[in-house]
Amino acid sequence: MLNRTTISAVTLYSPVTLSGDWPKVGRLIFMVALSTIGTILNGFFVASFFVEYSLRRVGFVFLACVGLADLLITGGVMPISSVVLLSGEWDNEFVCNVQQFLAVSATYCYSLFFMCVAAENYLRLCCSQAAYDMLINCNVGFISVFIFLLSFSLGGVGVYLGLDYDYCKRAYIGNSYYRVISTALFHALPSACTIFCLISSYYGVRRRASQQISYRRSLAYGRDSSIATLNIIAYLFFFSAWIPYLIFSIDLPGVTDTKYYYSIWIGLGRSVFTSFMYGILNRNFRRAFAHLFNYCCCKSTLSGPLASRHRREYRQGTSDVRVHIMHQAVSTSSPQRATSSIRETQEL
């Protein structure tokens, strides 16, 4: 039995359905657009690691988990708001707590996984091969599962035991010890480690390119430079999106509902655009996105080989005429050249 206790009957700003000053249709379109676009882009981002050969590397598992963390927001938090708006009901505490739980847990996961991404790049680009092999030989799947379990466990404890800040009613500020520990464990320490590793990886690529001409002329330099630069941009985007909330968190009880909830939704809205940035600025992701888009939107049938066979049969007459003309053209040349040309034409 769901608890449908009304959060506030007089508050104009809803923690689930945004500002009551906005038209309901406008809010619904805004939420559905964010949810749909973000879910598709993040889904393409995660699927890229399965369809693109150059992305099938053990170290990229953490980057795929970063996309999963964003997918939790665009595919979990935002659709809940859309459903509540579409139902026409006012917020209830159960729905709001579910949203807070998913958003907090996904943010914890994003911060920790991006730290692992930065550490992987640092070990691969700035350290010895033995140091990088130590990371590869570790059970990456176990580390990823542990991060998910840790983030969701502490996120659930903070929300459902009242240890975190009350997002829904703003009636209490939570337990100060829990908030300090969770902030240091999931944000402060990972941020310091991530920034150090990202900057070191970027300059490590530049330094290696200046010292090794063969590396600078290789394809590996372009891939490493692109990933190092994109990771810095993505993390700065993540950090900048949550700066308003960090500023308002200094005096949370004194901040108005509008400023408080705006700052949170700015941070959540960032998850829609990060995957798009990778898909546009990186060649490997761009190629993977193109393959996925072609498969999902441009295929007229699921039987690819059958469609290819039909297309070959449709062009059979034209290709026969072309081969016949080419045979006549080479017949006036030497027999050896004619035989070679005929063999090449048949292979084509």
Rounded to an integer, what distance in angstroms lies between the CA atom of residue 208 and that of residue 203?
Answer: 8
Structure tokens at 42: 């993040």
The per-residue pLDDT for 57 is 81
- Indicate whether 133 belongs to any domain: yes
The per-residue pLDDT for 86 is 84
Q: How many CB atoms lie within 10 A of CB 271?
A: 29
pLDDT band at 33 (very low <50, low <70, confident <90, very high): very high
Rounded to an integer, what distance in angstroms lies between the CA atom of residue 311 and that of residue 314?
Answer: 5
| Same domain as 182, residue 321 | no
Total of domains in the chain:
2
Give pTM, 2 decimals.
Answer: 0.80
pLDDT band at 289 (very low <50, low <70, confident <90, very high): very high
The CATH number linked to 105 is: 1.20.1070.10
Q: What is the pLDDT of residues 108-118, one digit of tens each?
A: 999 999 999 99
| Same domain as 331, residue 291 | no
Q: 82 near 33, Cβ under 8 Å?
A: no
Rounded to an integer, what distance in angstroms lies between the CA atom of residue 215 and that of residue 222?
Answer: 9
| Same domain as 329, residue 262 | no
Residue percentage of the chain with pLDDT more than 90: 42
pLDDT of residue 348 exceeding 50, the answer is no
Across 11-25, 98-112, 215-229, the highest mean pLDDT is recorded for 98-112
Per-residue DSSP letter, 250: G
pLDDT band at 330 (very low <50, low <70, confident <90, very high): very low
Structural domain containing residue 217: 13-298
Structure tokens at 149: 């379990």
| Same domain as 275, residue 328 | no
- Indicate whether 247 belongs to any domain: yes
| Same domain as 271, residue 170 | yes
pLDDT band at 299 (very low <50, low <70, confident <90, very high): low
Q: What is the pLDDT of residues 144-200, one digit of tens each?
A: 999 999 999 999 999 999 999 988 888 888 898 999 999 999 999 999 999 999 999
Per-residue DSSP letter, 90: P
Q: What is the pLDDT of residues 229-268, one digit of tens each?
A: 999 999 999 999 999 998 888 777 788 888 888 899 999 9
Residue 122 burial (C-beta neighbours within 10 Å; 0-12, 13-18, 19+): buried
Rounded to an integer, what distance in angstroms lies between the CA atom of residue 18 and that of residue 255?
Answer: 16
Interacting residues of 209 by C-beta distance below 8 A, sequence separation 6+: 215, 216, 221, 225
| Same domain as 195, residue 336 | no
Structure tokens at 145: 């599962």
The per-residue pLDDT for 300 is 54
| Same domain as 334, residue 254 | no
| Same domain as 194, residue 117 | yes
Average pLDDT, the chain: 81
- Indicate whether 70 belongs to any domain: yes
